[in-house]
Amino acid sequence: MGKYDGKSVVITGGSSGLGFATARLLADGGAKVLITGRTRATLDAARERLGNGVLTVVSDAASMTDVNDLADQVKTELGQVDALFVNAGVTRTVPFESMTEDVYDELLTVNAKGPYFTVQKLAPLLSSGSSVVLTTSVVNVLGMPALSAYAASKAALRSMTRGLARELLPRNVRVNAISPGPIDTGILARSMPAEAAQQMVDELTAGSPMLRMGEPDEVAKAVAFLAFEATYTTGAEFPIDGGASQL
Ligand SMILES: NC(=O)c1ccc[n+]([C@@H]2O[C@H](COP(=O)([O-])OP(=O)(O)OC[C@H]3O[C@@H](n4cnc5c(N)ncnc54)[C@H](OP(=O)(O)O)[C@@H]3O)[C@@H](O)[C@H]2O)c1
């Protein structure tokens, strides 16, 4: 018998990285998992690795139409939701002086507005005793170069975690955040030129109290804990950063 048998889980941005690792952990434990992403091919590849029981929905967190449609599809496919992992996000490293309005808007839309309305639209489907986990970032409490707008988007999400936790409490729904430090998912390589990405990885590794990056599976375990086991915890942010925000 699986630890998560009978549980229904929705993971935005579940086709790679942290979302994928969490989908694998929960699906392996017996949960019925629905993942989203913007790209059909990436979702199909993820489903192939996760097993055919995993449901996939193409949905862009930046599109209100997609967010509304996602709620309809989740209702049809799962009925109710026991854990909602709002994880889809983008990183853009741009020095403050050269930040453009378009990139700023993209960061705030995908990383803050999208998650907010995803929770709003899926809230009616959240079962009593269920929980929401949002992915913030260690940079929301650290000043790091070229990440000011990204950090602001994640700080908004951290703040929302408290407010949403308060508003969903009467429905017996907990809302928490995970705050990852540098995790080896390839997100940096996908968001900047290879040389710059490697330089940042080297700096992050050297600056980490544990002198290493984290693994996606280490994040997945924390998400599963907050989602299903941390029954006296709401409004909190759980760092998974090798001590970077604390030491
Ligand atoms: N890795 C780290 O070091 C780290 C540290 C702190 C915080 N985080 C946060 O953790 C989350 C996951 O990051 P990751 O490293 O796992 O990145 P990743 O491997 O690039 O995965 C991101 C996932 O989100 C999806 N996605 C991206 N934009 C989307 C959008 N607009 N709508 C829907 N889905 C979208 C991607 O699929 P498509 O591209 O196909 O849409 C993919 O499934 C992000 O919120 C990121 O900011 C990561």
Residue 46's Cβ-count burial label (10 Å; 0-12, 13-18, 19+) is buried
In the reported structure, the alpha carbon of residue 67 is separated from the centroid of ligand 1 by a whole-number distance in angstroms of 16
Find out whether 33 and 14 touch, Cβ atoms under 8 Å. yes
131 in any annotated domain: yes
- Segment (H or E) for 228: none
pTM: 0.97
Q: What is the pLDDT of residue 190?
A: 80
Q: What is the pLDDT of residue 202?
A: 87
Pocket probe mutation, ligand 1, options 11, 12, 15, max atoms within 8 Å of Cβ? 15
Position of tokens 């989602």?
A: 227
Q: Does the CB atom of residue 19 touch ligand 1 within 6 A?
A: yes
Residue-level pLDDT, tens digit, the chain, 247 residues = 899 999 999 999 999 999 999 999 999 999 999 999 999 999 999 999 999 889 999 999 999 999 999 999 999 999 999 999 999 999 999 999 999 999 999 999 999 999 999 999 999 999 999 999 999 999 999 998 999 999 999 999 999 999 999 999 999 999 999 999 999 998 888 878 888 888 888 888 888 999 999 999 999 999 999 999 999 999 999 999 999 999 9
- Reference 134, options 167, 180, 170, 168; nearest CA is 180
Domain residue limits at 95: 8-238
Distance CA(30)–CA(233), nearest Å, equals 24
Distance CA(12)–CA(74), nearest Å, equals 12
Amino acid identity, position 150: Y
197 in any annotated domain: yes
- Reference 65, options 140, 135, 121; nearest CA is 121
3 in any annotated domain: no
Amino acid identity, position 10: V
245 in any annotated domain: no
71 in any annotated domain: yes
In the reported structure, the alpha carbon of residue 87 is separated from the centroid of ligand 1 by a whole-number distance in angstroms of 7
2 in any annotated domain: no
247 in any annotated domain: no
Q: Does the CB atom of residue 57 touch ligand 1 within 6 A?
A: no
Specify the CATH number for the domain of residue 45.
3.40.50.720
Q: How many domains does the chain divide into?
A: 1
Q: Does the CB atom of residue 82 touch ligand 1 within 6 A?
A: no
233 in any annotated domain: yes
- Active centre residues (catalytic): 150
Find out whether 220 and 18 touch, Cβ atoms under 8 Å. yes
